[in-house]
Structure 1
Amino acid sequence: MQSWQHFARIQAINSSQVGISWFGNNNYLPGLGDAKATTEVTLRLNLPPDLSSSPVLLTNLTDPALRVDVWSQGSFLHLPNGNMFMGYGSEPIMMEYGPLERNKTVSKARWSATFDYSDLISSYRTYKQEWDATPETHPDLVVLKADANEQLHCAGNSIYRGYVSWNGATDVTAWLVYTGAKNTSLTAIGRAVKSGFETEFSIPNDVAFVQVGAIENSSTSVGK
């Protein structure tokens, strides 16, 4: 028996049948001794509605090895690759289930993830999708003297290091580095391939100004 449904959605419809899915919290209050495993349910119903015809259970997603009991919120999505994705509302947990095998209504989770400590954060809905972003802010650049024992590949006799990052930028592949004696006459001296969140590169000892430009998909973008 299902209760406290959330995020009900029509999945498919034609002149004779309709599919409907929902996230079944199944628990009214946290800490219940008889808490039920949270599931996603998809039913197929005949049209027009007929009390003599029972709904057909298409999916009932839960993984006994990764059981989660939640009491509020939550969401469910069909993904383009045939998998199914659940966000567990009052618990900061997400799971992706594989496509159903023939004549099966349950599926094992392909992966799961948490995004905070339990009971400190919740999600009304979660999504999995391709995401690209170019922030309105400029990149952050810091220049420091190298530590005495620091070893940067190809640094030569340079004692200065540049550190550049751009929080939120998803498509940066490299940084174009400009240097010069004046900020009005900078020259490109090379590229630093993006490495993790913060990219480190060497700077010639005799320059007074440094600027970087983000290279996104082979085109130069915002600089600093």
Structure 2
Amino acid sequence: MAEGKPWAGRATRRMSRTAGTCTLAVGLAFAGCVVPAQASSPPGPRLCATVPAPPTGSPPAPELITSGPGVWSFVSAPRLHPMRVSVTAQRRGTAPGNIFVGPYTISSPMIGQTGALISENSGAPVWFRPLPSTSLQNADFKVQTYYNHRSRRAEPVLTWWQGSIAIPPAYTNLPGGAPEPGGCYYVYDSHYRLVRTVFARHGFHPDEHEFILTRRGTALFIATKPIPMDLRRYGGPENGAILDSEVQEVDLATGELVFSWDILDHVNPADSEVSASDASSSGGVWDAYHMNSIDEGPNGELLVSARNMWAAYDISRRNGRIRWQLGGKRSDFTFGPNADFFWQHDVRYRPGRRISMFDDGCCNQPDGTPEQESHGLILNIDFAHRRATVDQTYYHAPPLFSASQGNTQALPHGNQFIGWGQNSYYSEYAYPGNTQYNGMQNLLYDAKMPGSDISYRAYRQRWVGKPYYPPSAAARARGERSVVFASWNGSTETRGWQLLAGPHPRALRVVGRALRTGFETALATANQGPYFQVRALDAHGRVLGASRIVTPAG
């Protein structure tokens, strides 16, 4: 297929300043990567995006609602106000694990705080890390495995992007959905301690769409930046810019860039389904590509999704060339009935020459292209005949039309977990799925976030959290009795609580026990204390941790 040589001069000049080809320990050679003569010392974790990027428009940040029926509030954790989801369907057969989302909003108000949220099937929070502003977001929040090659250890971690997303009208300097400068990726261990923060190179900004830890001890992610360009030949402004995207790979131990692939070097922006004239509403920056996912194949090849091209590209890591293109104006494949897709997200390799994605299918279709109802999609790829056909589809009831975002996650036993992107739902289906107008078939789980709250992606994953900090407690006087509220943000092993009371902090004794009843458990006692403490118990009754000693507050 055409490699876009007429616009490759800028990239060729930039690539000539790099160190050529390098090799990682696994023996794969990567084109266009940079490795210094001496590796630097491992970078210590440093915080990023603790305040939002300065707005470029006049509207304030979305209004924050921290009370009411759509918000959780806790006596023992008064600073936490996560959203309260409504579980609309829950049947037998769901995969094990909790649910991971990064709630935020693209319109006002935000019901509950933005941040990173782990929930139970019931909707009760397990762990919540709030952000201080509704103009800050977390994205791609999930469980991954961190391979530390120095210690030869592999450990489960939490990862996410943190920063500000360009959401008009507050941010009009970049196309909607682009990352504002100042963000990074966070890596937290199972004790909820910061292990790593990862930043982009080449002057690019870390992008919220993808962050993958590899077995090589590296991180693969998308990075973006505007490249000044005369856009008149594409129908845009003379003094414009194109939002370029790179796949970057960084060594987690040294922080050095070991691989990069720039989409502008290989894909003609003229093939975009977004008009360059749209740059007039985003600071002169044209979002021709909107790269939004990366996946790594068994032989090191990469699968890259470009939303605004309606295409996915299989890329050779050895020479950076596009081996084939699925979808878009230069597709190497034809499509069977209902197999074509538009504005797609989360394109993944699947076993057996299949590919999955979330097909947004709408909106703002160019040239009269009909809208499609958003759905999870798994395609069979026939390489011999260069044809893609439908393997399975996953539709929602009621029908949903998501203008952006979304994902289709493979779960054990074939189940599929769907995050509905710009719609406030996430769902789980048995593998056979369903068809359009039959969205309840094989539905196992469905939940709705409150108001206009959404999450870029949603996942179901297993996680064992062992907080380094102690449980929380708060006591309240209720006439002749006292009620002690107990919680431990992030503890997945707590099954019950032990209540201690006494007339002096050094004279406490056990006065009660209770099973854990969600994020916060209330333990009532006739003991007047006035000093109280709670201890978290595991399934065998062993003490996991103890709160500080508290006295009633009223």
Asked if TM exceeds 0.5, the reply is yes
- Judged with a 3 Å threshold, the aligned counterparts in structure 2 of structure 1 residues 211 and 11 are, in CA distance, closer, same or farther, namely same
Shift of 1:208: 4.1
- 2:486 pairs with one of 165, 180, 195: 165
Q: Contact 1:143–1:160 (CA<8 Å) still a contact in 2?
A: no
Give CA-to-partner distance per residue, 1:51-83, whole Å, 9 cap, x none. x453332112224x4211011111001211322
CA distance in 1 between counterparts of 2:476 and 2:450 reads 34
> Which whole-Å deviations, capped at 9, do the CAs of 1:36-57 have from their partners, x for residues lacking one?
20122212223xx34x453332
Judged with a 3 Å threshold, the aligned counterparts in structure 2 of structure 1 residues 29 and 134 are, in CA distance, closer, same or farther, namely farther
The answer for the alignment partner of 2:543 in structure 1 is: 220
Q: Quick one: structure 1 residues 96 and 184, their matched pair in 2 at CA, closer, same or farther if it must change by over 3 Å?
A: same
For residues 435 and 523 of structure 2, the distance between their equivalents in structure 1, rounded to whole angstroms, comes to 51
Structure-1 residue corresponding to 2:445: 111
Q: Per the alignment, in what secondary structure is the counterpart of residue 211 of structure 1?
A: strand
1:61 paired with 2:400, answer: no
- AA matched with 2:361: N
Amino acid at match of 2:459: Y
Cα gap change, 1:41 to 1:141, in 2 (>3 Å): closer
Report the Cα offset of residue 128 of structure 1: 1.2
In 2, Cα distance between equivalents of 1:146 and 1:68? 47
Residue equivalent to 2:344: 5
Structure 2 equivalent of residue 24 of structure 1: 359
What RMSD over aligned residues (CA atoms) do the two structures have, in Å? 2.9
Structure 1 residue 28 displacement after superposition:
3.5
Distance in 1, Cα, partners of 2:515 & 2:395: 43
Residue type of the partner of 2:374?
T
Corresponding position of 1:44: 380
Instruction: List alignment gaps of at least 5 residues for structure 2.
Output: 1-339, 548-554
Q: Scaled by the length of structure 1, what TM-score is found? A: 0.75
Percent identity over paired residues = 21
Tell me the CA shift for residue 144 of structure 1.
3.1
Q: Deviations over 1:77-106 (max 9, x none)?
A: 1211322111011111112222218xx878
- Between the aligned partners of 1:190 and 1:62, the Cα distance in structure 2 is 48
Q: In structure 1, list runs of 5 or more residues that go unmatched.
A: 148-158
- Following TM superposition, by how much is the alpha carbon of 1:23 offset from its aligned partner in structure 2, in angstroms? 0.9
1:128 to 457, 460, 465: 460
- Partner residue, 2:496: 174
Among 518, 522, 526, the residue aligned to 1:199 = 522
Task: Return the offset for 1:211.
Answer: 1.9
Matched to 1:146, the amino acid is R
**What amino acid does structure 2 have at the position aligned with 1:110?**
L
3-state DSSP of counterpart to 1:81: helix
Does the Cα contact within 8 Å between 1:139 and 1:164 map onto a contact in 2?
Answer: no
Contact preservation (8 Å) 1:23, 1:40: yes
Alignment CA distance shift 1:95-1:211 (3 Å): closer
How far did 1:222 drift?
1.8
Give me the TM-score of the superposition, normalised by structure 2. Answer: 0.33
**1 CA distance for matches of 2:369 and 2:446?**
25
Shift of 1:204: 2.2
Indicate the SS of the match to 1:27: coil
Alignment-mate amino acid for residue 115 of structure 1: M
Q: What is the rounded CA distance, in whole Å, between the counterparts of 1:208 and 1:61 in structure 2?
A: 56
| Matches of 2:510 and 2:496, distance apart in 1 | 13
The number of aligned residues is: 199
Preserved CA contact (<8 Å) 1:83 1:98 = yes
The structure 1 segments of at least 4 consecutive aligned residues displaced by more than 6 Å after TM superposition are 104-107
Cα distance in 2 for partners of 1:182, 1:73 equals 55
1:187 aligns with 2:509: yes
In 1, distance between residues paired with 2:478 and 2:373? 55
Q: Distance in 2 between matches of 1:142 and 1:55?
A: 59
**Structure 1 residue 188 displacement after superposition:** 2.8
